[in-house]
Amino acid sequence: MNLAQFHGTGYEVIFIAFSGIVVAQVVKCFLHLIVKRNLDLRLFTTTGGMPSSHSAGVMGLSTAVGLIRGFDSIEFAIALGYAFIVMYDAAGVRRAAGKQAACLNKIIMDLYKQDLVEAGGKLKELLGHTPMQVFVGAIFGIAYAFFIHFRVLH
């Protein structure tokens, strides 16, 4: 398949957004391997961690729209607004929910004497991102979009 046929189309935007998420998740696994010296492939399918794949995807999408339609276009403004909402949610609401889950897990462990199964199971704690994880994901998405647009699809 010739990927150059996607250059300048909506397919390019979709490709950059979704492949950027996948690549960011792969990077997340490798960073974990380097830092923790432990390969945890579950990180590929989980939220949270460095870099934010949500941020990479939406900023890649926004950048691709800007490259194709222009950074002064209505389409870019809409995509960028969407990206800011997603990134705010990742660093704000979802991070707060993760902190609440950690507190609830501790309370449940204290109440049920370490038996989380009896209480319905452990709540997922790694839901959101730190502002730095969101920022790095956003920069990654922008760079990835430029790379794909000018080097891969051109």
Domain range annotation of the chain: 3-88+130-152, 93-127
Question: What pLDDT, on a 0 to 100 scale, did the predictor assign at position 30?
Answer: 86
Question: What pLDDT, on a 0 to 100 scale, did the predictor assign at position 1?
Answer: 64
**Is the confidence at residue 66, as pLDDT, over 90?**
yes
Q: For 105-132, write each residue's pLDDT tens digit.
A: 777 777 766 666 665 666 666 556 788 8
**Largest Cα span, the chain:** 60
* Number of CB atoms found within 10 A of residue 153's CB: 20
Question: What pLDDT, on a 0 to 100 scale, did the predictor assign at position 95?
Answer: 65
Question: What pLDDT, on a 0 to 100 scale, did the predictor assign at position 29?
Answer: 83
Q: For 5-62, write each residue's pLDDT tens digit.
A: 888 899 999 999 999 999 999 998 888 788 878 777 666 677 777 889 999 999 999 9
Omega before 131 cis (within 30°)?
no
